[in-house]
Amino acid sequence: MSLAKCPFCGGTVRLVSDRDFRCGSRYGITHEQPRPLLPTLWAAYGVNADTLVRCWSQRYGVANRLRALGEDDLADRLA
């Protein structure tokens, strides 16, 4: 499954991981090109990468589709 684009700027995002020897790995989503507006969004420890990708793409994929249809206000409220 691929990641939906950023709902705020339309930029490309990517999956990143962080490893903590006490807690294990956690996954996050960040912009391909760093943006001050949207920092890396981290999932809780124990949430696997597939779950994070699915949740991001479902929520923000809908917002991006609404924006493409000219429903910017509704997309902003969803994002």
pLDDT at 74: 75
Instruction: End-to-end CA distance of the chain: give it in Å, rounded.
Output: 20
pLDDT of 1 above 80 = no
* Amino acid at position 2, single letter: S
8 Å CB contact between 1 and 57: yes
**Domain ranges within the chain, ordered by starting residue:** 13-78
The partner residues of 15 in beta bridges, in order of sequence, read 29
Tell me the C-alpha distance between 75 and 72, whole Å: 5
Query: Which tens digit of pLDDT belongs to each residue from 18-77?
Result: 887 777 789 999 988 876 667 888 898 889 999 999 988 888 888 878 878 888 877 777
